[in-house]
Amino acid sequence: MSKRNFTDHALVQLTLMRMREFIREPEALFWSMIFPIALAAGLGIAFRNRPPEVLKIAAVTPHLAEALRREKLLDVMQLPSELAEQFIRTGKVALVAEPGADGSVIYRYDDTNPEGRQARMLADQAIQRASGRQDPIAGNDQIMREPGSRYIDFLIPGLIGMGIMGNSIWGPGFSIVDARRKKLLKRIVATPMPKHYYLLSFLVWRMILLPVDVGVPLGFGILVFGIPLRGPIVALVGTCVLATLAFSAGGLLIASRVRTIEAASGLMNLSMVPMWILSGVFFSSQRFPDLVQPVIKALPLTAVIDALRANMLQGSGFAQIAPQAAVLGAWLVVCFGLALRLFRWR
Amino acid sequence: MPGLVQASPTQAALRIRNLRKTYKDVVAVDGLDLEICSGECFGLLGPNGAGKTTTIEICEGLTEADSGEVDVLGLRWSSDAPALRQRLGIQLQETQLAEKLTVSETLRLFRSFFRQGPGAEEAIRVVQLEEKRDARVGALSGGQKQRLALACALVGDPDLLFLDEPTTGLDPQARRQLWDLIEEFKAAGRTILLTTHYMDEAEKLCDRVAIMDHGKTIAQGTPRELIASIGVEHVVEFSAGNTAVDLSGIRAMAGVRDVRTENGNVLLQVTELHKAVPALLDELTRQGVPLTELRTHSATLEDVFVHLTGRHLRDE
């Protein structure tokens, strides 16, 4: 052979095989891309912070309407009195303001309806201020609604960590067990291919997919919910890379000897389900008793999620997330070492 | 062994001496000796469980022997594995290639594992899968999959080709197509070791065969030599319905070497068909036995196996 292209390299061809098997499996695309978005969207909507309610009221004269519109929490319609009467009876407005005798104002509303009572207070305040009332004490509002303290801000790092874990364990694990079951693994090691290329191709492919694994939930969170990225991006990327390596090593370990898909599923669920529950994906792991906290902290998923939350929400860099990185590194070394020792090619 | 090039030490493509392999308490290979010359197609023939696959997988470097010597192309697995892998073409029994890849993607993948050899397109042409080059492996028929497996074995331009049960499970037409391919490889001068439990396959393809049973070779030679060695040219098989036949009368007939009953039929191994059949008809008439079926065929490797073991190749 005189000249060989880059694509004729065994590692490239093996990685291409990973890619082709992935993109030609529609279910895989769904579970790894659409599902996390759907989950984040569903939970984000369920736990969203509602904007303050605006009350609809009617005013009969332009003068009143103008005074009332200064109150931002009121949505004021100017209507002729018959129509205003009809609107309040059908509940389309909570209150009707109309001029009374001697320049007074009449508020028509149902005092058994909380909306009516609230509208009465807001409307009266607006009209008194418009007529020149000075409040003796100034009250300044400070609204607590900043990004970073909402449920969705807590949730997105959890979903990113869960996604990395799921994709890194299922992906290589299933492919290897399937190839072993079909004796493809045995056929491939009967060629001169260096064995580590085969395992390496899984890591290369996960690294190629990592921007998608992380980018989909992260991009969704940023675009739709405006979640913050307060820490250095390089620490975020580093955490995700280390997590992918650690969980892929776990996937290799799980798949190192198993011969059936059923047995592999069992082992994967056995290792992942406890982490879904304990590692604080959906709610804080601090809720578990102090006694088990050291165990929870030692789980790889806890380490990823804690590091991501610290980075994204509190702005932590490498120095602050070093303990979590150490936990992930330890899992990587132990799982990969065991996997190499235990791996069976047939 | 007369009639063929004698295996001399310099020409042997594969030499096995006193090979043994035991799985737990099952002896799979029990002191096997084999020598395969460069350029010949050698068949390991035997029933399931005879140790054929274990033997071929030891030669392929996939299984480690308990004891014995295996020289492949003058090299040893213990010291020369990387060099050996480059020079062997391997088709395993029951390998399922990745279903989601196309034929040409699969071959490019396998080609990338070897330093040299024909390109993927060349291999596709050799196994006549041009029309299927962009088809997914999962969409191929059994015969096409097996031809693709052969192509995967060829992309490294191997000096020695191992084919483990290449036609098992295929329909007759697909088998014939595969045989034609293997004949082409032979014509191109490739050395081939194939295993099979089809005696017709061994007779058609192999220059020499070794018949294996219980981990040993029980006979070795050209198919013609082996058939001649049992001293029988023809087999006569007849059925008399439910009527009892006196076999001693038949045994006494001239030219009859052996008489057996099987599934209610009587089988005679005979040397001269033209004398044996009339004699048999006379004898049955004398016994008053009605004939419901009568068949004859020339002796085959199957008959050799039956002669040597008393069992059929495909008996479990």
What does the pLDDT look like over A194-232, one tens digit per residue? 888 998 899 999 999 999 889 988 998 898 888 899 999
Nearest CA in chain A to B96: A182
Facing B100 at nearest CB: one of A1, A20, A191 = A20
In this prediction, residue A131 carries a pLDDT of: 85
Same domain for B261 and B188, yes or no, is no
| Cβ–Cβ below 8 Å for A184 and B95 | yes
Residue B1 lies in a domain: no
Expressed as residue numbers, the domain containing B235 is 231-298
Q: Report yes or no: A12 at the B interface, CB cutoff 8 Å.
A: yes
Closest CA to A271 of A287, A250, A244: A250
- Summarize the confidence of residues A306-320 as an average pLDDT: 93
Residue A22 lies in a domain: yes
Q: What is the per-residue pLDDT across B25-37, written as a single tens digit (0 to 9) for each?
A: 889 999 999 999 9
In this prediction, residue A137 carries a pLDDT of: 86
Q: Which residues contact B25 (CB under 8 A, 6 or more apart)?
A: none
The residue whose two tokens read 């390998």 is B95
pLDDT above 70 covers a percentage of chain A that reads 95
Compare A331 and A23 and report the one with higher pLDDT.
A331
Question: Minimal Cα–Cα distance from A7 to chain B, Å?
Answer: 9
Same domain for B72 and B203, yes or no, is yes
Same domain for B142 and B289, yes or no, is no
Residue B313 lies in a domain: no
3-state secondary structure chain A: CCCCCHHHCHHHHHHHHHHHHHHCCHHHHHHHHHHHHHHHHHHHHHCCCCCCCCEEEEECCHHHHHHHCCCCCEEEEECCHHHHHHHHHCCCCCEEEEECHHHCEEEECCCCCHHHHHHHHHHHHHHHHHCCCCCCCCCCCCCCCCCCCCHHHHHHHHHHHHHHHHHHHHHHHHHHHHHHHCCHHHHHHCCCCCHHHHHHHHHHHHHHHHHHHHHHHHHHHHHHHCCCCCCCHHHHHHHHHHHHHHHHHHHHHHCCCCCCHHHHHHHHHHHHHHHHHHCCCCCCHHHCCHHHHHHHHHCHHHHHHHHHHHHHHHCCCCCCCHHHHHHHHHHHHHHHHHHHHHCCCC
* Number of domain units in chain A: 2
Q: Report yes or no: A233 at the B interface, CB cutoff 8 Å.
A: no
- Dist. CA B106–CA B98, nearest whole Å: 8
- Residue A126: which CATH number? 3.40.190.10
Same domain for B223 and B236, yes or no, is no
Question: Minimal Cα–Cα distance from A243 to chain B, Å?
Answer: 28
Q: Report yes or no: B101 at the A interface, CB cutoff 8 Å.
A: yes
Question: Minimal Cα–Cα distance from B109 to chain A, Å?
Answer: 5
Pick from A72, A95, A130: which residue ends a domain? A130
| Mean pLDDT estimate for chain B | 88
Residue B111 lies in a domain: yes
Q: What is the per-residue pLDDT across B230-251, written as a single tens digit (0 to 9) for each?
A: 877 888 999 888 888 888 888 8
Q: Report yes or no: B139 at the A interface, CB cutoff 8 Å.
A: no
Residue B75 lies in a domain: yes
* Number of domain units in chain B: 2
Same domain for A237 and A276, yes or no, is yes
Q: Which residues of B touch A12 (CB under 8 A)?
A: 112
Pick from A84, A101, A130: which residue ends a domain? A130
A-B CB pairs within 8 A amount to 73
Expressed as residue numbers, the domain containing A88 is 55-130
Same domain for B92 and B222, yes or no, is yes
- Summarize the confidence of residues B124-139 as an average pLDDT: 94
Same domain for A25 and A170, yes or no, is yes
Same domain for B147 and B272, yes or no, is no
Q: C-alpha distances in angstroms, A52 versus A48, A72, A74, A145, A148? A: 12, 10, 11, 11, 19
Same domain for B269 and B197, yes or no, is no
Q: Report yes or no: A261 at the B interface, CB cutoff 8 Å.
A: no
Same domain for B111 and B197, yes or no, is yes
Compare A336 and A6 and report the one with higher pLDDT.
A336
Same domain for B177 and B274, yes or no, is no
- Residue B126: which CATH number? 3.40.50.300
Query: What torsion, rounded to 10 degrees, do the Cα atoms B6, B9, B12, B15 define?
Result: 110
Residue B303 lies in a domain: no
Q: What is the per-residue pLDDT across A137-165, written as a single tens digit (0 to 9) for each?
A: 888 877 665 667 778 888 899 999 999 99
pLDDT(B299) > 50: yes
Q: What is the per-residue pLDDT across B78-104, written as a single tens digit (0 to 9) for each?
A: 999 999 999 999 999 888 899 999 999
Same domain for A114 and A260, yes or no, is no
Here the contacts of A132-140 (C-beta below 8 Å, separation 24 or greater) are none
Q: Report yes or no: B114 at the A interface, CB cutoff 8 Å.
A: yes
Residue B2 pLDDT class (50, 70, 90 cuts): very low
Same domain for A35 and A69, yes or no, is no
Q: How many CA atoms lie within 13 A of B206 on its CB side?
A: 29
Residue A139 lies in a domain: no
pLDDT(B7) > 50: no
Same domain for B57 and B171, yes or no, is yes
Q: Which two tokens stand for residue A261?
A: 């898909």
Same domain for B204 and B261, yes or no, is no
The helix (run of H) or strand (run of E) holding residue B164 is strand B160-164
Pick from B213, B228, B243: which residue ends a domain? B228
Residue B4 lies in a domain: no
Q: Report yes or no: B108 at the A interface, CB cutoff 8 Å.
A: yes
In this prediction, residue A114 carries a pLDDT of: 85
Q: Which amino acid is at B200?
A: D
Q: Report yes or no: B90 at the A interface, CB cutoff 8 Å.
A: yes
Q: Report yes or no: A191 at the B interface, CB cutoff 8 Å.
A: yes
Same domain for A110 and A208, yes or no, is no
Facing B98 at nearest CB: one of A1, A8, A21 = A21
Nearest CA in chain B to A13: B109
In this prediction, residue A217 carries a pLDDT of: 87
Nearest CA in chain B to A182: B96
Between CA A312 and CA A317, with CA A315 as vertex, the angle to 5 degrees is 100
The helix (run of H) or strand (run of E) holding residue B186 is helix B172-187
Please provide the size of chain B in residues. Answer: 316
Same domain for A95 and A218, yes or no, is no
| Mean pLDDT estimate for chain A | 88
Facing A183 at nearest CB: one of B95, B112, B156 = B95
Same domain for B265 and B150, yes or no, is no
Q: Which residues of A touch B77 (CB under 8 A)?
A: none
Same domain for A87 and A218, yes or no, is no
Q: Report yes or no: A3 at the B interface, CB cutoff 8 Å.
A: no
- Dist. CA B196–CA A336, nearest whole Å: 41
What pTM was estimated for this model as a whole? 0.77
